[in-house]
Amino acid sequence: MRLLSRALRLWELGTQAASRRPVSAQECLRPRSPGTRCWLSTPADGPTSSLLFQPSVTARIMRPDDANVAGNVHGGTILKMIEEAGAIISTRHCNSQDGERCVAALARVERTDFLSPMCIGEVAHVSAEITYTSKHSVEVQVHVMSENILTGNKKLTNKATLWYVPLSLKNVDKVLEVPPVVYSRQEQEEEGRKRYEAQKLERMETKGRNGDIVQPVLNPEPNTVSYSQSSLIHLVGPSDCTLHGFVHGGVTMKLMDEVAGIVAARHCKTNIVTASVDAINFHDKIRKGCVITISGRMTFTSNKSMEIEVLVDADPVVDNSQKRYRAASAFFTYVSLNQEGKSLPVPQLLPETEDEKKRFEEGKGRYLQMKAKRQGQVEPQP
């Protein structure tokens, strides 16, 4: 209670500190002369990159409705801010030359780690930068910093890489070409091309194994997959959508995180927070008027973490010509915390069916692979 009261006080003091002039969708799409460089904000010490667009920076105060009962900001709220920053800079870049106007649609989010919790009253600073372009896609890297406005202390809370594709304003199914960027080093372009090919291959592999659905089970036993699995049904309205009439990627990610959080809370019966999000793949667009079902199920648990698979299915109820389809999928990792914010042991998952046991082993493989990668990063260089 004391933590929540302090957080509320921070929020009251910081409301004006994070004020920024909002940028409308119309401003993002306003025609500009060829070669025009535009950005939301430029660092005071000058340009930091030789790319066509300088990093865009936005800021927002964290309010009580952004957080859980413990005062920690929801991971879905942060994911939505990350996507908005990426959408702004990629849409501006894709409209930086003469030609058919477009809006950038989110296609994929690479693994995103939640490095530090963010609390009510802190200011989130979100910076986005274009790091690579292919013929039909844009790679955007986003960093999120949290600022304590009483002390001025800042800390890095998130790093994310997102991929966007430009869709024509005249025809939502038409993907346009992306204006190239200028690299300061040839190695930057080569490294970006490798990342592009890797994510393209993984997207194809993920789409091929997305046929199953989450089925409810009556009277499940505790600590089983069926016991904690959860679903949320949402009718897509105008406030969820872009100018095209399809859902913002950030809206989908926020709903996915909410469902994953419910699954984790049901399994642990404690306070839980998002630790990381594996690659989120957007397989198809979700149009206004669709009914979407976001389903989550536990796939793996280690001693202090749990992996939850989240699937998004869209049902175009006003269009009889199209059947229900898989729109997005991802794996979320959560940890359990006590009242002091220290990690707690996680109840071990009890897989029952052959499919559940198979998913458990696949999740264990992902866990061990990421653990080895983290250990390799912290080892001192010879």
Q: Which residues are tagged catalytic?
A: 68, 257
CB 181 within 8 A of CB 130: yes
The identity of residue 380, as a single letter, is: P
319-324, long-range: CB within 8 Å, 24+ apart, which pairs? 319/287
Task: Calculate the dihedral angle through the C-alpha atoms of 98, 103, 106, 110, rounding to the nearest 10 degrees.
Answer: 30
Task: Calculate the dihedral angle through the C-alpha atoms of 161, 165, 167, 172, rounding to the nearest 10 degrees.
Answer: -90
CB 43 within 8 A of CB 107: no
Collapsed DSSP state (helix, strand, coil) of residue 194? helix
Measured distance CA(130)–CA(248) in Å, rounded = 19
Collapsed DSSP state (helix, strand, coil) of residue 313? strand
Burial call 257-288: b when 16+ CB within 10 Å, e when fewer: bbbbbbbbbbbbeebbbbbbbbbbbbbebbbb
Alpha helices in 39-142 (DSSP H): 75-94
Q: Which residues contact 282 (CB under 8 A, 6 or more apart)?
A: 105, 106, 107, 108, 249, 252, 327, 328
Half-sphere exposure of 228 (CA within 13 A, CB side): 31
Measured distance CA(217)–CA(219) in Å, rounded = 7
Q: How far is CA 256 from CA 161, 217, 260, 368, in A?
A: 18, 21, 6, 24
- Helix axis angle, 249-268 to 75-94, nearest 10°: 160
- β partners of residue 298: 308
